[in-house]
Structure 1
C-alpha cells in the first residue's frame, strides 16, 4: 500500500519522516510513504479540508483541529488505535503535546513533534545571566538589542504567551472572554515598549528568519519568545553561530514560564486506508528508541518526555531540551474551535497595526475581544 503524506519544508519537519519512509521496503513491509513538503505558511493558506482531500497523512498544528472536525476530514485516533496506545502516548508525551489534539472527546492527531515558544539568545553578546521575568526583559532591552516575534500569526501568539506568564491564560477561565482589561493592558504595554526599540531588520521575519538572523549577525542579543528549533542550538559548519535557548519569561520570580504551544502532529485523513502495517509504522515513530535516537539524529524534535531529558540527546544539541523542558510542560494550549485560525490571523494584524500606529490600548483590546467573540459564534467547542 502506497500512501501520500504532507509535512512542512524545514529539516525539523521533513528529514526524520523522509528518512523513516526510506527504511521501508514495499514488498517486505507492505507499505510505502511518499512525503511531500510545503512552506510552513502554506498550512495557514490552504484549508485543512483541501489538504486532507489530497493526502492520506497530514502533519498539522493543533489549532486546526476544530476546522478539520467541522469538515469531517480526519479520522479520530480512537477509531484506529486501541485505548491503551493512546493512554500510553498521553503519559509519555511532554507537556500537552497529545492533549492539544483532543477535541469533542477524542484525539485527532499523533504527537510527533513537540515545540513551544522559548527564549533565544546569543550568549556571547550578553555579559549577564538570561532574564527570568518580563521586567528583566524590559530592563535588558534598554541596554541590549531585543526583538519580538511579530510576523504572520506570531504577534498574536506573543500576546497570548505574555498573558499566560502574567497569570491569565487567554480564554481559559471563560471560553468566551479572550482577556481581562487589566492583564490585556499590561501585555500591550510590554509589547509596545519592546516594539519601540527593536531592530527593523527583524520585524518582518518569522521564527526561522529571526533565528537565522541571530545566528549570522551581532546586532540582536535576545528574542524573549520564539518557537524553539533545536537545529540552531548546534548548527552545522557554515550555518552560523549557535543560539542558546532558555525557558520563556515569567510574570514574576517563581512563576510559570508563559508560552503558547506549537509542535505538530500526524493526522490521518478520511481518505486514508488503514492497514496494520501503517499503524505499526506510526507506533514506531512514537516509540521510545525512535524518539530518543532516530528522530534527533535526523534533525527532528521529539515529543516524548524521556527524549527531552536524555543526557545523550542534550549533549548532542547544546542542552536545548533540558534548558526549555519546563516551558513546554507548562505551555498554553490555544482555543481550537472552528474559526480560531481566522481569528489568530486577524488578531496578529490588529496588534501589528496598533503597535505601528501607537493606537489606544483599550480600543485594541475591545477590537480583539469583538473579533474573538465573532470567531466563537461561528465555531463551537474549544
Structure 2
C-alpha cells in the first residue's frame, strides 16, 4: 500500500483547528461533552511517545465536529444531532441513527399531545369534546399566524376556510386520525398547503402531478404518512430498510427542491406546479428527518417502487445544472446566436434559466440545511 494515500492520524488539535477555521470556538470541555453524547468519535490509543500514550481520532472526525457545531446553531438536542449526523453519512451507525430518529419523532408526538392538553386547560375545557375544541383553537392560532413561522399563503383563501383546513390537516397528519373529509374540503386543504397548482399546471408535455381524488390524501395520510405512522415505521425498520430510506429521502428532497426552482425560473411564475413549499423547507433539519421517516413508512408498506419512481423523476433536473454551467462557459455571442435560433417560448425560458444560474438562484442551500 502506498503510504502517501493513507491520511495522517487526527489529533485533538486537528479537530479544534478545523472547527476554528469554520468559525467555531470549541473548548476541551465542549469537545468532551460532544464525545459523551456520541456526536464526535472518541480517540483511540494508537502509539506511544516515550511512556506517554498518543491518542488519535478516526478519519472524518474533524468534518463531523464542524457539522455538529453547524447544527448546534439550530438545536442542541443530542438525539436530533445524532439523527442528522447519521442522515449526512457521518460516523453514526444505523442502529444509533434509528434510535435517535425514533426518539425525535416520539418526542414530537408527545409535544403535540401536550400542546393540546395545555390549550384545553387554558380554555378551561374538560370532558368530552375538550380535545376537539383545543385543536380548533390551536388551528385558528396557527392559521392566523404571520411571519417566518407562519403557514405559507401562496393561494388566497378565506380565514375561516384556512382554519377549518388546518384542523383537518392536523387531525390526519399530526395525530393520525381517520376522518370523513369531503372532496371540496380536501381540495381546500390543498389550496391552504399551496400544492393546488399541481392539479392544473403542465410542464412541457408532462401533465399535472397531483391527480386522483383529493379526499384520498387524508385517508392515506392518516394511515401511512402521519407522524404516529412514521414514528412506528422507523422504530420497527430493519437496517437495510432504513438505509434505503435515508438515501431515497436525501435524493428526493434535493431533486424536488431543484425541480421547484427550475420550474419557477423557467416559467417566470412563483410556485409553479405547487412545489415551492418543498424548496423552502427541504433544508430544514426537522423536515429532513421527517422525510426519512416518510420514506421508511412508504417502503415498509410496499410503496418502495413508487417512491423510487418519483425520486428518479425528480433527479432528472440535476443534469440541467451541468448543462447550464457549460452554457455559462460559452462566449456571450455564442449563447446569443444559439438563442436567436430557438422558438420564442423556448428562448424566453432559456434566458430566464441562464439569468437565474448567473445569479446563483438555482444553487442548493448548504448541505447540512443550515
TM-score under structure 1 length normalisation? 0.23
Whichever structure has more strand as a proportion of its residues is 1
Query: Over alpha carbons, which structure has the higher Rg?
Result: 2
